[in-house]
Structure 1
Amino acid sequence: MNLRIFLGFLRAVRSVVQDLGFINDAKIVF
């Protein structure tokens, strides 16, 4: 898997997590 695609995927996941309101829990993972 391309690293750039992987990083883009992680960024998208972080955006979704923030929208769901779980940013505090996400800080531990990301």
Structure 2
Amino acid sequence: MISGEFRYNFSVSLGEIVITVANDVKVSLR
């Protein structure tokens, strides 16, 4: 099964999205 690899890729992309959103929020708060 590729569920493990898919889950890893999903969490990595989700982490990148969270980091990008957090950076956008920091910039907008300045």
Taking structure 2 as the reference length, the TM-score comes to: 0.64
Alignment-derived partner of residue 25 in structure 2: 17
User: Which runs of 5 or more structure 1 residues have no equivalent in the other structure?
Assistant: 23-30
Highest relative contact order (Cα 8 Å, sep 6+), 1 or 2?
1
4+ aligned runs moved over 4 Å, structure 1: none
Give the number of the structure whose alpha-carbon radius of gyration is greater: 2
User: Which runs of 5 or more structure 2 residues have no equivalent in the other structure?
Assistant: 1-6
Taking structure 1 as the reference length, the TM-score comes to: 0.64
